[in-house]
């Protein structure tokens, strides 16, 4: 159970998120903007009777801005009792990945480095394991 | 499973307690059918739960008792003493077994068989029931418990489910409307809607709790506290049956506790003090709850010493919370409100009970956070009453929704004073410097353009917006300019994510019936972000009247080139003349007027010159050395300048705005005009005085007098440049910025010298003031 990971693509990269943290995957079509909020807060969307705070993962990882065209997939996570939707290009797979994340020595850009927990291996490929809480917290530069 | 077992234990314990009485009564009268039924229901329930929870021993015991009792119920068997004893033994056993379960211990094996055997209709002697059971007659059978316990999460899930259902209903309703009417479907749909609405209401009610739970902790607290403080306090609690949302109960627990502690600690006096002031030795503390509309009022009243507002004010001044100048204008209620200011405690000494820095400011903040208010009422020597007003539910609030650009927003209806059209007859909107001010029936209200604040594109054409006049909990009153007002709605408000709350302008999120999330605006936050002035701006009218009598400045009212009504200090106007428009030319980067062989800088118009057959009307202004021209449309009147006027947001051609017969009039900043002329030498020749720019009295009242006396004014040594000031003004000992060896002229607020620094001058003693200035200049 604990080793299930959700594999999604963000900015063309495949990344892993611990499935424990993930509540569901939804498709978002309308986002209510939140003026004055930090850049990585894309806005609000409804998930049945609950309100999702939509996170622009591109902005959170300092990669620019997520596409807001048409229907976008979002990974729903609960952090500190608040429901968030992380915008992703596409959810690829759910897979059991064993083994602890390995520390990464390659130089990551600041945005990725802030959100990454380490490297995991899946089908002979290395995937970055991201921490949803750090994505939700937004880029370091915004927090400073 | 663990959870279910816990519930089973709790429920069984709860039923066993009243059942003990039933059993004793049944024993006294085995033919009592009502009691037999109660006992039967109990063993039946236990049996059912045991089967599910896999407790075979309990199940067998309860099954045996149930069968025996069923026989009695059907009349196949009579309830003789032996049977009663056997049933009682089994019920005792069930109780013991459940306690063992609760404690997590294994119940000793064996003994069950004998008990079960005893039930059977034969001659086997049953074990004697516990001798501790004393026969006790109970008059009426107890009503069976009609309540169940539910985990709170289940209620929350039900609430969410019903909300989902409402949204689904709304969606269905939209679809049905699109498809056109089918009477039968419509009727069925109506019925469904009614059911959903009813269900929503019932579920909302399940969240309600009696306030008893909150009050039940008070007697103990009051007892301990009064013992600790050697006081005698008589506590009266009323209204415990008032219901409110259980979340709300949790939110007001701390504020209420704090208020009660304060009352006992600071309010109610010790027995000796009370006896000395002819009061009963024991103080009375009354805690009272009642419902008023969809609000709950909780009053905490004591008959203690009350609050001395003068003392409070003195402390506030010492602590630097209010300025002396502000303090003078405060009425009693305003002074009492100081108790809610941060960092103020009225206790003579900081005690262990309260006054530890966590004060009434925190109480008020916590109560306001849930949409409530705290009011204070006190009579010195007679007591203090604090009233908490909180909404009945945390989650559903009445709100006003409005559009800004393409988005909808909501604002709590409680904060909305009124809604007016900015282009309506009773409203005038004017731009003052960089700020916008609306005059609504004689009141000046700052306008916050929400679209601009939020960086959005509004759709209402300029000057055609709707003004929602808002009173924030922090006291600011301002008008929100929005594109259109939508509706009054009851909204379920949820807290927003921290990153959204961090903006400060939102109070939460809500999901209206259209299924698109909406943001709830926080009026106090908007005031802060928009920089709307704090309540200091609301100077009571009576305080103004007093000062008007003391000091007025005549001003000339005129219609400016752009049509606005402006005023200028009359003493500066030397002449009003009509000059040839051809005499005005743009030269050297600004408009200039050639007049009587001199070139004067021209103000008051940009490019558009009010052309009256080739003539332009100008005011010729002079300060004794420099002359400038100011183009106007026409002269209106001469009017006295009230000392209290609204200063402009930024330094510029307009010093501020004042009200003249209900029309907003901009006062031209003559100092700024002359400063613009750039004839540095001429300006510098006027001797310089320094005053405290942050002090409103100095800025608004003192400055014009000094200027009229032929001095120049700066607010700080920095503003003075290289010029050595003649004097620095200081009001009632407030430390003035010391500039080198510049003489300090001390002013005092009180007319009498008593208590003020020696050599100080009463601040409205104009001659004394000017003489002191002249003396200072002479010394230089």
Q: How many CB atoms lie within 10 A of CB B188?
A: 11
pLDDT above 60 (res B461): yes
ipTM confidence score? 0.88
B689 vs B475, more confident = B689
pLDDT above 90 (res A110): no
Q: What is the mean pLDDT of residues B602-624?
A: 73
Q: What is the mean pLDDT of residues A81-90?
A: 90
pLDDT above 50 (res B545): no
Q: What is the mean pLDDT of residues A39-59?
A: 89
Q: Determine the pLDDT at residue A73.
A: 92
From chain A, the residues in CB contact with B517 under 8 A are 32, 44-46, 51-52
pTM above 0.90, yes or no: no
Task: Give the chain A residue whose CA is nearest to the CA of B159.
Answer: A49
Please give the CATH architecture assigned to the domain spanning A4-143. Answer: Beta Barrel (2.40)
Q: Determine the pLDDT at residue B410.
A: 92
Per-residue pLDDT of B270-315, as tens digits, reads: 888 888 888 888 889 999 998 876 678 899 999 988 888 888 888 8
Of A35, A37, A51, the CB nearest to B517: A51
* Nearest to B355, CA basis, from B368, B365, B366, B346: B346
Q: Which of A23, A26, A29, A34 to mutate to test the interface with B (most CBs of B within 10 A)?
A: A34
d(CA B610, CA B601): 17
Q: How far is A78 from chain B (nearest CA, A)?
A: 11
From chain B, the residues in CB contact with A41 under 8 A are 497, 499-500
d(CA B266, CA B283): 12
Q: Determine the pLDDT at residue B550.
A: 39
Whole-number mean pLDDT of chain A?
86
Q: How far is B200 from chain A (nearest CA, A)?
A: 13
From chain B, the residues in CB contact with A53 under 8 A are 496-497, 499-500
Per-residue pLDDT of B10-33, as tens digits, reads: 778 777 776 767 776 777 777 777
d(CA B744, CA B737): 9
Q: Report phi then psi at B760, rounded to 5.
A: -80, 160
Q: How far is A87 from chain B (nearest CA, A)?
A: 16
Interchain CB contact of B540 with A (< 8 Å): no
Q: Determine the pLDDT at residue B779.
A: 65
Angle B511-B197-A43 from CA coordinates, rounded to 5°: 5
pLDDT tier, B721 (very low <50, low <70, confident <90, very high otherwise) = low
Contact B511 A80 (CB under 8 A): no
B460 vs B474, more confident = B460
First to last CA, chain A: 36
pLDDT above 90 (res A54): yes
* Nearest to B170, CA basis, from B191, B188, B193: B193
B746 vs B256, more confident = B256
Per-residue pLDDT of B411-449, as tens digits, reads: 988 788 888 888 877 788 888 777 888 888 777 888 998
Q: Which residues, other chains included, contact B40 with Cβ-Cβ below 8 Å and sequence gap of 6+?
A: B66, B69, B70, B73
Lowest mean pLDDT among A70-84, B355-369, B460-474: B355-369
Q: Which of A36, A85, A132 to mutate to test the interface with B (most CBs of B within 10 A)?
A: A36
Please, are residues A8 and A15 in contact by the beta-carbon 8 Å criterion?
Answer: yes
Task: Give the chain B residue whose CA is nearest to the CA of A29.
Answer: B516
Per-residue pLDDT of B122-132, as tens digits, reads: 554 444 444 43
Q: Determine the pLDDT at residue B4.
A: 74
Q: What is the mean pLDDT of residues B602-622?
A: 73
Of B407, B497, B510, the CB nearest to A53: B497
Angle B293-B296-B302 from CA coordinates, rounded to 5°: 130
Per-residue pLDDT of B220-270, as tens digits, reads: 888 888 888 888 888 898 888 888 887 788 888 888 988 888 888 888 888
Per-residue pLDDT of B343-382, as tens digits, reads: 665 444 444 444 444 577 778 877 877 767 888 888 888 8
Q: What is the mean pLDDT of residues B54-74?
A: 81
Whole-number mean pLDDT of chain B?
76
Bridge partners (DSSP) listed for residue B283 = B233
């Amino acid at each position: 159970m604990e080793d299930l990971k959700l594999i999604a693509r963000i900015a063309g990269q495949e990344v892993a998120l611990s499935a424990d943290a993930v509540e569901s995957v939804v498709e978002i079509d309308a986002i209510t903007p939140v003026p004055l909020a930090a850049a990585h807060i894309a806005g609000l969307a409804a998930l049945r009777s609950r309100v999702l705070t939509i996170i622009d993962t591109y902005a959170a990882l300092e990669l620019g801005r997520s596409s807001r065209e048409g229907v976008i997939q979002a990974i729903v996570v609960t952090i500190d009792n608040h429901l968030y939707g992380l915008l992703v290009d596409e959810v690829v797979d759910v897979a059991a990945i064993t083994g602890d994340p390995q520390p990464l020595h390659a130089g990551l850009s600041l945005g990725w480095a802030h959100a990454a927990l380490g490297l995991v291996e899946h089908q002979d490929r290395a995937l970055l394991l991201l921490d949803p809480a750090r994505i939700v917290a937004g880029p370091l530069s915004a927090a400073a | 499973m663990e959870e279910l077992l816990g519930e089973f234990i709790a429920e069984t314990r709860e039923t066993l307690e009243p059942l003990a009485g039933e059993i004793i009564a049944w024993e006294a009268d085995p033919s009592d059918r009502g009691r037999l039924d109660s006992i039967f229901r109990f063993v039946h329930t236990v049996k059912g739960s045991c089967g599910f929870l896999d407790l075979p021993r309990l199940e067998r015991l309860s099954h045996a008792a149930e069968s025996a009792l069923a026989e009695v119920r059907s009349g196949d068997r009579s309830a003789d003493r032996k049977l009663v004893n056997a049933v009682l033994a089994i019920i005792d056993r069930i109780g013991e077994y459940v306690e063992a379960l609760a404690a997590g211990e294994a119940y000793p094996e064996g003994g069950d068989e004998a008990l079960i055997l005893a039930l059977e209709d034969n001659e086997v002697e049953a074990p004697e029931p516990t001798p501790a059971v004393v026969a006790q007659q109970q008059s009426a059978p107890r009503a069976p418990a009609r309540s169940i316990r539910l985990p709170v999460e289940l209620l929350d899930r039900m609430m969410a489910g019903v909300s989902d259902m409402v949204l689904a209903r709304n969606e269905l309703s939209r679809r049905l409307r699109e498809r056109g009417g089918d009477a039968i479907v419509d009727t069925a749909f109506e019925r469904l809607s009614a059911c959903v609405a009813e269900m929503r209401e019932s579920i909302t009610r399940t969240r309600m709790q009696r306030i008893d739970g909150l009050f039940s902790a008070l007697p103990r607290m009051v007892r301990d506290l009064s013992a600790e403080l050697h006081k005698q306090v008589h506590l009266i609690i009323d209204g415990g049956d008032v219901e409110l949302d259980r979340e709300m109960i949790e939110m007001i627990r701390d504020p209420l506790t704090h208020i009660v502690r304060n009352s006992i600690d600071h309010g109610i006096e010790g027995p000796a003090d009370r006896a000395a002031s002819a009061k009963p030795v024991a103080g009375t503390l009354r805690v009272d709850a009642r419902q008023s509309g969809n609000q709950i009022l909780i009053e905490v009243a004591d008959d203690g010493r009350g609050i001395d507002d003068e003392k409070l004010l003195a402390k506030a001044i010492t602590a630097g919370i209010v300025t002396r100048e502000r303090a003078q204008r405060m009425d009693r209620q305003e002074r009492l409100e100081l108790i809610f200011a941060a960092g103020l405690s009225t206790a003579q000494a900081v005690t262990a009970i309260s006054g530890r820095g966590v004060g009434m400011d925190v109480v008020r903040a916590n109560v306001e956070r849930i949409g409530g208010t705290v009011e204070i009422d006190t009579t010195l020597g007679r007591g203090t009453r604090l009233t908490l007003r909180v909404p009945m539910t945390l989650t559903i609030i009445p709100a006003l929704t409005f559009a800004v650009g393409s988005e909808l927003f909501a604002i709590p209806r409680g904060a909305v004073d009124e809604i007016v059209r900015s282009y309506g007859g009773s409203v005038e909107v004017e731009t003052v410097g960089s700020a916008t001010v609306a005059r609504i029936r004689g009141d000046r209200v700052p306008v916050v353009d929400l679209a601009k604040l939020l960086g959005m594109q509004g759709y209402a054409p300029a000057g055609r917006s709707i003004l929602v006049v808002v009173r924030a909990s922090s006291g600011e009153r301002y008008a929100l300019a929005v594109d259109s007002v939508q509706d009054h709605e009851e909204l379920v408000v949820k807290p927003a994510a921290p990153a959204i709350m961090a903006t400060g302008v939102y109070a939460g999120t809500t999901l209206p019936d259209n299924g698109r999330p909406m943001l709830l605006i926080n009026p106090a936050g908007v005031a802060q972000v928009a920089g709307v002035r704090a309540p200091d701006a609301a100077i009571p009218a009576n305080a103004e009247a007093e000062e008007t009598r003391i000091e007025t400045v005549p001003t000339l009212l005129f219609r400016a080139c752009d049509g606005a009504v402006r005023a200028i200090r009359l003493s500066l106007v030397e002449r009003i003349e009509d000059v040839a428009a051809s005499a005005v030319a743009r030269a050297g980067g600004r408009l200039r007027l050639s007049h009587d062989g001199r070139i004067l800088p021209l103000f008051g118009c940009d490019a558009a010159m009010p052309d009256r057959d080739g003539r332009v009307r100008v005011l010729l202004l002079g300060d004794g050395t420099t002359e400038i021209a100011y183009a106007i449309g026409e002269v209106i009147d001469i009017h006295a300048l009230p000392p209290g006027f609204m200063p402009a947001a930024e330094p510029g051609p307009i010093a501020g705005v004042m009200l003249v017969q209900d029309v907003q009039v901009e006062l031209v900043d003559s100092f700024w005009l002359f400063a613009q002329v750039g004839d540095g030498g001429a300006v510098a020749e006027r001797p310089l005085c320094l005053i405290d720019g942050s002090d409103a009295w100095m800025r608004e009242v003192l400055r014009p007098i000094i200027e009229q006396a032929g001095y120049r004014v700066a607010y700080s040594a920095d503003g003075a440049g290289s010029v050595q000031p003649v004097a620095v003004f200081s009001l009632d000992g407030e430390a003035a910025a010391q500039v080198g060896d510049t003489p300090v002229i001390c002013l005092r607020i009180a007319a009498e010298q008593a208590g003020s620094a020696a050599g100080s001058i009463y601040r409205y003693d104009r001659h004394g003031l000017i003489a002191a200035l002249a003396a200072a200049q002479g010394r230089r």
